[in-house]
Amino acid sequence: MTILVTGGAGFIGANFVLDWLATSDEPVVNLDKLTYAGNLQNLSSLEGDKRHIFVHGDIGDSQLVQRLLREHQPRAILNFAAESHVDRSIHGPEDFIETNIVGTFRLLEAVRGYWKGLDESARQAFRFLHVSTDEVYGSLVADEPAFAETHQYQPNSPYSATKAASDHLVRSYHHTYGLPVLTTNCSNNYGPYHFPEKLIPLMIVNALAGKPLPIYGDGQQIRDWLYVKDHCSAIRRVLEAGLVGEVYNVGGWNEKPNVEIVQRICALLDEMRPRADGKPYTDQITYVTDRPGHDRRYAIDARKLERELGWTPAETFESGIRKTVQWYLDNWQWVEGVQSGSYREWLDKNYSGRTA
């Protein structure tokens, strides 16, 4: 028995692979394109582990995917591969269309052909699990109910629009061809190995470097926060027991405005790694021009996953954020390794033009 994971060197994918192999002896074929956010250092602890087969490649490479399917005969595909940063999608949407839409289509086509060739029992047991985001649902006002699985899709950025398209493709391959699919839509993840372009790792890295902590607009944009290892456990549970064709929302029940997140990180760093001058890290907070079309609030209703599959998150935000800050403090060599010239150029591009 084998599973194929796409995007397994990125933030969520790498955490999933590490957790999977920590709890199972079932081998993982890990296909990753190794773009800027894909990092083999995330998987360094698996070096020499024969259960982990890494393949450098693109989900859009149909011949490669078909070969991997023939050679390894996986019982399940877990699709983490995606371009996922809203700001980058605003500056350059074409990469998001190519990976999230075209790539998902080509992956589905390859998987469909493979699945049709399986014997009856293997076809019945096979699963294609597509990992998506709550951003496909759009934005909520303050008193609106949280996103349920039946919420209308209303994507507002090139990123969320391409993920919405990929979700629809996955759904269509189930209803048209019978492919046994599962889809998960998660809230904002945080935790180890998070590339420092996203809010939480960026604030930790900038704070420790003595740099400004840029907060968009008034900082009152609300997100639900999910510790990445909780997300991984939810995916394992959906793969194990989810009903074919169903969608499951995965959330942490932690709605918080961005400014509160940054203030909490500052307080933890004041405790765990105080500034040399004794001043609080909140002195580094800077409010900058908001990004175009910034969604105001996301909130996930994860009761279906709890009710039908018995899953709940193990971490509170308080426990998860403390573990996350400690991980970055303990793994500064990893942080320095991902801060390449292209990363610095990106930060300059995205933040230098924003007025305070």
- The catalytic residue positions are 134-135, 159
Angle between helices 62-72 and 104-116 (to 10 degrees): 40
- A 10 A CB-CB count for 69 gives 19
DSSP state of 146: P
Distance, in Å, from the CA atom of 30 to the CA atom of 9, rounded to the nearest integer, reads 8
Q: How many CA atoms lie within 13 A of 316 on its CB side?
A: 2
Backbone φ and ψ of 78, nearest 5°: -120, 115
Instruction: Say which residue the tokens 């350059």 belong to.
Output: 92
C-alpha distances (whole Å) from 272 to each of 60, 280, 338 are: 44, 12, 23
Q: Hey, what are 141's tokens? A: 């006002």
Long-range interactions of 303-307: CB distance < 8 A, separation 24+ = 304/148, 304/149, 304/248, 304/249, 305/234, 305/237, 305/238, 305/248, 305/249, 305/250
Residues 6+ apart with CB under 8 A from 67: none
Cα separations in angstroms, 109 against 123, 157, 179: 15, 26, 10
